[in-house]
Chains A and B, each alone.
Chain A
Amino acid sequence: MKKLSFLAAAIFAFAAFVSFNNVSAKDGLAVGATMEDFKLVDASGATKSFNELKGKSGAVLVFLSVQCPVVKGYDERIVKLAAEYEAKGINVIGINSNATESADKVKTHAAETYKFPVLIDKGNVIADKLGANVTPEIYYLNEKNVLVYHGAIDNDRSGENVTINFLRDAVESNLSGKTVAKTSANAFGCSIKRAAKN
């Protein structure tokens, strides 16, 4: 009995440790880690799961904003990428985690701008889980939901002087079975406006 309670205590302690580590993980989902399925409401109000929306070869999650000028600068490129990747079995899924942008605005903006679904991350739950902080910010996951690449789309916000296509390189390398050379790249963007929780 004593052994059992010791075992139970050990399991509990381990679970608490793991749980604490998850909670305090400031960096969010690491490259190489598997993302758990999640459900969010889309712009039309329907609940969608990630697994339901992803393509047969994976998905690109892109954190968006209605107002962010950097996102606006990337919109054309994002739309183009989405169409191109859909043909390759990789679905682009937009996520809006900004507490300052209403569901109505997200809905209108999504309908006007994108052909892929845009999910509303109320309370920035998914942004917190993944560690997303900026818009636009990309999470490219393979068919097993393993994070392959995280960060910027390319190295030029204006789109006029792009010399490195971070996302494109990662997708092409991964699809052709090669090692992805650059698995993360930061870039300047708009901070995600998180909901006040206290």
Chain B
Amino acid sequence: MTISTSHQEKDSTTKQHEMTRNKNLFVNFRFISWLNFFRFSAILACAIFLCVGNTTAQTKKSRVKKSAPKKQAVLNLPKVTQIDAEALKKLLKPNGKPLLINFWATWCEPCREEFPDLVKIGADYQDKIDLITISLDELSEINGDVPKFLAEVKSNSPAYLLKTTDEGEAIGLVAKDWQGGLPFTILFNADGETVYSKQGKFKTEFLRQQIEDLIQNGKKLNAFGRGRNDAVKDITEGKLILKTNEYLGRRRGLLMLVEERGIKFDYVCVDFEYIEGYNSISEKEIAQKFGDDFLLKITKAKFLNYPPQVIELTLTPK
């Protein structure tokens, strides 16, 4: 308590000193400013001039400095290999691992936007999948904008530039349902079957899930999962995610979902939280159809695209 009081005293004395000093400074400043206004203005002008001069000089210097690493970067640009339709055909065959291919172009803004995510995916799954990128830029950019951009995003995946006289043929080689819109991303399993493809920007989380599924199962998942044992395990752990190409609201869709998965259920309790107007299947109907293992409750369902061709469901056991 005593210490505190003495501190308070000291504080008040210090404050008084400070106030007096500030007052003096203010008076001094006023005195100086009124008397020496022009002199100070002149000094200020000189100072500004010097500062600007310095800044300009620094900018020039930094420009010079910046240009040096650029020259260095040019030397280290990634190699981009020109391919034709024949070479493309060979590239589409996986080499013992799942294969992720991204078709892009420097002029395609969404391609540029998604590319950093692609690079990250490539790094995260480096030993588990092969990632290649195929540019549809003009051939004149093979040593220009294409490798420059790849260097910018730090892509070290094998990079190609497709040049063909028949783009339609090349597009058809890659995927039947691709119209040529960029970007286009396609994931093959190790057997060369298409697991996932997307015209337009991919959804990173969804693509990662596809890759994870593929790595864990070693082959293409059908729309309904990996079979009874895995499914039962996943359901028991409460982390089953099913993906279906069916409109879930259609009775057939949900029945197939369960049927093709190979699981027998007492019944499935359907509780769509996010799909309105499609909750058309009753517990009783499912109870009549399926067997003896689990009561499933669909707790979450959401569209992953629109029109809903892919719907993600989270199922939890009773």
Please give the distance in Å from B167's CB to the nearest CB on chain A: 5
A192 touches B181 (CB 8 A): yes
Residue of B nearest to A28 (CB): B179
Contact between B303 and A198, CB atoms less than 8 A apart: yes
Contact A189 B180 (CB under 8 A): yes
Write out the residue numbers on chain B whose beta carbons fall within 8 Å of the beta carbon of A158.
138
Cα A155 to Cα B199 in complex, Å, equals 20
Structural contact, B180 and A134, CB atoms closer than 8 A: yes
Q: Are B182 and A186 in contact (CB under 8 A)?
A: no
Q: Is the CB of B306 within 8 A of A186?
A: no
**A25 CB to nearest chain B CB (Å):** 10
Residues A191 and B178 in contact in the complex (CB < 8 Å), given A23-B307, A133-B199, A155-B167:
no
Cβ of B147 < 8 Å from any Cβ of A?
no
Residues facing B in A143-167 (CB within 8 A) are 151-152, 155, 157-158, 161, 163
The reply on A193 being an interface residue by CB < 8 A is yes
**Interface SS, B side:** loop
Give every chain A residue within 8 A of B183 (Cβ-Cβ).
191
CB distance from B22 to the nearest CB of A (A): 56
C-alpha spacing A190/B179, complex, angstroms: 10
- Chain B CB within 8 A of A80 CB: no
Q: Is the CB of A189 within 8 A of B182?
A: yes
Nearest-CB residue, chain B, relative to A163: B165
CB distance from B197 to the nearest CB of A (A): 13
Q: Which residues of A contact B171 (CB under 8 A)?
A: 186-188
We find that the number of chain B residues with CB closer than 8 angstroms to chain A is 29
Interface string of A34-70 (1 = CB under 8 A from B): 0000000000000000000000000000000001011
The answer to whether A191 touches B110, judged by C-beta atoms less than 8 angstroms apart, is: yes
Residues of A within 8 A of B168 (CB): 151-152, 155, 185-187
Q: Count A-side interface residues using an 8 Å CB cutoff.
A: 30
Q: Is the interface of A mostly helix, strand, loop or mixed?
A: loop
Are A70 and B107 in contact, with the CB atoms below 8 A? Answer: yes
Assess whether A178 is interfacial by the CB under 8 Å rule.
no
CB nearest neighbor in B for A69: B107
A190-B138 contact given A134-B181, A185-B168, CB 8 Å threshold: no
Which A residues are CB-close (under 8 A) to B181?
133-134, 188-192
A197: which B residues are within 8 A, CB to CB? 306-307
Q: Taking the complex as formed, is B101 at the interface, i.e. its CB lies under 8 A from any CB of chain A?
A: no
Measured CA separation A179–B168 after assembly (Å): 21
- Docked Cα-Cα span, A187 to B171, in Å, equals 7
Is the C-beta of A121 less than 8 angstroms from some C-beta in chain B?
no
B172 at the A interface (CB under 8 A) = yes
8 Å CB contact of B180 from A161, A163, A186, A196: A186
Give B180 Cβ to nearest chain A Cβ, in Å: 4
B105 at the interface (CB under 8 A from A): yes
User: Please, which residues of chain B bring their CB within 8 A of the CB of A26?
Assistant: 177, 309
| B residues whose Cβ falls under 8 Å from a Cβ of A | 103, 105, 107-110, 136, 138, 165-168, 171-172, 177-183, 199-200, 302-303, 306-309
